[in-house]
Amino acid sequence: MGPLAGLKIIELAGIGPCPMCGMLLAELGADVLKLDRVHPSGLGLGVADEQAFLHRSRRSVAVNLKLAEGADLALRLVDQADALIEGFRPGTTERLGLGPDTCLARNPKLVYGRVTGWGQTGPLSQTAGHDLNYIALTGALHAIGRAGHPPTPPLNLVGDFGGGALYLALGVVAALLDAQRSGQGQVVDAAMIDGAASLMTGIYALLRAGLTTDTRGANVLDSGAHFYEVYETLDRRYIALAPIEPRFYAVLLDRLGLTPSELPHSTVPEDWPDLKSKLAALIKTRTRDEWTQVLEGTDACFSPVMSQKEAPHHPHNEARATFVQEGGWQPNAAPRFSRTPSRIRSAAAPAGAHTREALIDWGVEIDEIDHLLATGAIVQHA
């Protein structure tokens, strides 16, 4: 039983950050009930529902929220929920009759979590966008990439998942704690642009202190420095070196058989291109796995760059069960707890796979379930 055991949360199914938040809350122990469309669209990228790992660990009820009976069912589920999360464009749930004012009037202790790209307010709040757009306005995208090259999209980790899902999960849990004390719920407005900006706080601090510049690829943490860089090996794979601190850099030099005079730990940006060229030439003399034998397990701040297919099989990941083989290799539940462990509770299932059983568990009468199935307000999928 995870630390959120006993809490009941409704997730209005969507894509990206909202399902990841639902997964996190479920694997922390909450009973998360996912209200799916009756004709689901997976992740929006052609991923079948049963292969969508973000949809694991909770049950799915297929509900047509556009029908009055479907919306009414959702509201009655809200009556007994501790929280609701949704990731639609602002105003969508209001048009469905499921907005925060309506839900909080019925259940004043409800935490209503909303995640959007631009937020619930502001001149862009009603416009479409994706992760890349949101992080572009925070300075994060500008900062990621190499000198002389355009900014590099960091997958959709910074906006969707870091700035969106994680901040929504934190906001919901914080509001749930407050609701237990105050007896009052509230709305959590988790905007990916706000979260991505928050993730940049440390980088903005470095800029303010004059320890970094606004020029991409010219700073310690963005591939400018030779001691924080990815290097190609003899077999055209890569290793990551990050001995920023002088004591760790000394370990690297020792393992490489070099002296400080041959490859100094210079913090002068003008020195970095030449030092990087020398280090790159040395790294190209051995394969990735040969460098792993020399450097891994030392304080040289070294890692081989693993592909997604390789990562689950690295000895450290195997020892910690960082990945699990359940319908394909996938990341395990995180974080870990000493007394109330988090865990993957079930595999991802097709939308509506649990309609009947989940509604019974949430107190809906069997006769009503049969009626709703007959009207098409809910659907039971195999």
What was the pLDDT predicted at 91? 96
Assigned token pair, 223: 């591939």
**Residues 189, 47 share a domain:** yes
How far apart are the C-alpha atoms of 260 and 35, rounded to whole Å? Answer: 61
Query: Is 160 annotated as catalytic?
Result: yes
**Residues 119, 35 share a domain:** yes
**Residues 328, 291 share a domain:** no
Q: Are 131 and 160 in contact (CB under 8 A)?
A: yes
What was the pLDDT predicted at 261? 96
Among residues 275, 304, 333, the one where a domain terminates is 304
**Residues 135, 69 share a domain:** yes
- In this structure, of 36-45, 139-148, 193-202, 306-315, the range with the lowest mean pLDDT score is 36-45
**Residues 262, 350 share a domain:** no
Query: Is 265 annotated as catalytic?
Result: no
User: What is the mean pLDDT of the segment spanning 126-132?
Assistant: 96
**Marked catalytic residue, from 39, 130, 149, 313:** 130
User: What is the mean pLDDT of the segment spanning 248-258?
Assistant: 98
Q: Give which of 21, 152, 16 is closest to 85, Cα–Cα.
A: 21
- On whether residue 41 sits in a domain, the answer given is yes
Q: Kindly provide the b/e burial profile for residues 43-54, where b requires at least 16 CB atoms within 10 angstroms of the residue's own CB.
A: beeebebbebbb
**Residues 366, 253 share a domain:** no
**Residues 117, 51 share a domain:** yes
How far apart are the C-alpha atoms of 187 and 178, rounded to whole Å? Answer: 12
How far apart are the C-alpha atoms of 41 and 261, rounded to whole Å? Answer: 60
Tell me the per-residue pLDDT of 81-98, one tens digit each, with 9 for 90 and over.
999 999 999 999 999 999
Distance in angstroms between the alpha carbons of the first and the last residue of the chain: 28
**Residues 332, 300 share a domain:** no
Residues 6+ apart with CB under 8 A from 371: none
What was the pLDDT predicted at 1? 86
What was the pLDDT predicted at 40? 67
Among residues 304, 336, 353, the one where a domain terminates is 304
**Marked catalytic residue, from 82, 160, 189, 222:** 160
How is residue 206 annotated by DSSP?
A: H
**Residues 222, 106 share a domain:** no
- pTM of the shown model: 0.95
**Residues 147, 76 share a domain:** yes
Q: How many domains does the chain fold into? A: 2
- On whether residue 243 sits in a domain, the answer given is yes
**Residues 271, 190 share a domain:** no
**Residues 160, 49 share a domain:** yes
Distances, alpha carbon 147 to alpha carbons 202, 215, 264, in Å:
21, 8, 22
How far apart are the C-alpha atoms of 71 and 377, rounded to whole Å? Answer: 9
Residue 112 in this model has a pLDDT that exceeds 80: yes
Q: Which residue range forms the structural domain that includes residue 251?
A: 218-232+238-304
